[in-house]
Each structure stands twice: as structure tokens, then as C-alpha cells.
Amino acid sequence: MSASLVVLTDFLAVSNCALSYAATLAVPLHAHLVLLHLRHDGLLSPDEYSRQHTPQGEKQLEQVLGKLVTSLAVPAEVEISEEFLPDAVTDTVHHHHPLMLVLGRPGTATTPTELISVTVMDLLRTAPYPLLIVPTMGWEVQPPTHLLLAVDGQEFSLGLHAGVVDKLRAGFGARLSVAHITSPTDPQPPKSRETVWSVCASGLASDLTATDVHELKYPSVAEGILQAGHELRADMLVLIARRHSLLGSLFHRSVTAQVIRESQLPVLVLPSPD
């Protein structure tokens, strides 16, 4: 059985960067796509969410999704769920054990930023798999060639999902850089060696050196990560989401949530049980 990527997005949208990007990733990862369509979700299925279902409408939906699958250049299947997001995703990952989930982040001005944060938080809490958030506008879909990992200087573990970054690097020949953002008032000296050790100890990378680590000072950690991504010309950001940060009030104010809301690059969030 081949590896899989579970895609969560508005499949009926005119432009679908998340699906295109997932298809781009699937080829070198030797993975197939699972298109999970949620009928009852205001973020991922806005049109269906606001209208009543009819047998004719359901048949048309199946036809549209079927055509979408056949138009893809990679193997794909569709799953239509009547469940709400947490239960639907839990069932799907239990069945497919995907390499990652791919979530399309809406780009409309009418989408509340809090709704995006809630969706990401729910996914990380109920299905702790690598989660790739893809902006739906403002960037060009292209293979990742430079991954930028943002760390806080503390040790972390990734469990069974530590190898997903290695798979991306091997599949695309991508390089990995690390950004450690601290406040300008932080008196601590740079700790590049300690950062290298913590990343290698997590299993995320084994070939990292101190020259790959960028110690940066910035008033806002989230803004520093976004700026580092721009200055270093990264095309994917990688963040670590610790389990204790997924409490509602903490997560909405977290660096992870802010980067996800504002990034013009795909953001890969790796859940850590720490």
C-alpha cells in the first residue's frame, strides 16, 4: 500500500493551490492523494454549508469530485464525510495513516482568522499528524527546494513523524536551514551548537551543521520567522507545535497560530508530544 496525503480544502473553489501543491508533493514521495470532502464545514465547504442538501445536489457533487480526481496527474481517491471535522479526520487517518495532512487556508477577506486557528488547533489535537497549511493565494505553486525550520532553542521530540522532513528533502533535493529567533533584549549569546544538537537528537535531520543555523534578533518571534523566510528565500516554513500549546487560549496567541495566519508560504507544522 502506497503512502498517502490527506487533502482538506474547498474542492469546489475555482482556484485550488492546496490540491495542486499536494499533487506536486505526491510524485517524489510516491504517495497517492485522499481528497476528504466535509459537507458540514464552513471553512472547507462554504457553499454546501450554507444550503440544504438534496439527492440531486449530492449526485452533482460526486460527479464534480470524480472529474477532479481523473484530472489529476497522480493517483487519488475521494472520501465524502457527513461527520464534522474532528471525527471525519480521525476516521480517515486511522484508515490511511498518511504522511501528512494538507489543509488549504482560505484567502478570502470574509474568513475570520480565528476560524483558521480553530481548525488547525482541532486537527493537531485530534489527529496529531504532520499538518501542511497551504495559502490559497499570493504565491506560486512550485516544488519545495529550501525548508526553513523555526526553533525556540529547547529540545523537542517528534515520535513516529520525525522522518517527514527527510522524505521531503530526499524527494526534492531540498536543503534545510534553521532559524532561532530571540528578542533584542535577550542577554543570552547565540547557541548554534545546542540548536544543531537538539534538531539532530529529534531525528528531524542528521546532517545539520552550525552554518545552517541562523540566530536572529527580532521584537516579535512570529514576525521574525516570516522575515527570515523571506530573507533566506525559503519556500516552506517548518514549525514545531508542542502538545501543551494546543490549549485554546494559548494556541490562539501562539507564534504558531500567528505564522499560520500571516505566512505567504506553505507552513508544515510538526506535532510534538512534549
CATH of the domain at 218: 3.40.50.620
**Co-location of 178 and 117 in the same domain:** no
Global model pTM greater than 0.85:
yes
**Co-location of 130 and 186 in the same domain:** no
Name, of 13-22, 38-47, 128-137, the range with top average pLDDT: 128-137
163 located within any domain: yes
**Co-location of 16 and 115 in the same domain:** yes
140 located within any domain: no
Contact 239, 263 (CB under 8 A): no
**Co-location of 7 and 130 in the same domain:** yes
Point out the domain boundary residue: 135, 155, 173: 135
52 located within any domain: yes
**Co-location of 119 and 179 in the same domain:** no
The model's pLDDT over 194-220, given as tens digits with 9 standing for 90+, comes to 888 889 999 999 899 989 999 999 999
Expressed as residue numbers, the domain containing 53 is 3-135
At 52, is the pLDDT very low, low, confident or very high (cuts 50, 70, 90)?
Answer: low
Residue 13, pLDDT above cutoff 50: yes
**Co-location of 195 and 243 in the same domain:** yes
The model's pLDDT over 242-267, given as tens digits with 9 standing for 90+, comes to 887 776 556 667 889 899 989 999 99
At 50, is the pLDDT very low, low, confident or very high (cuts 50, 70, 90)?
Answer: very low
**Co-location of 163 and 130 in the same domain:** no
**Co-location of 211 and 266 in the same domain:** yes
Point out the domain boundary residue: 115, 135, 155: 135
How far is 82 from 262, CA to CA, in rounded Å? Answer: 31
Contact 43, 17 (CB under 8 A): no
50 located within any domain: yes
**How many domains does the chain fold into?**
2
**Co-location of 112 and 31 in the same domain:** yes
141 located within any domain: no
**Co-location of 80 and 170 in the same domain:** no
**Co-location of 156 and 250 in the same domain:** yes
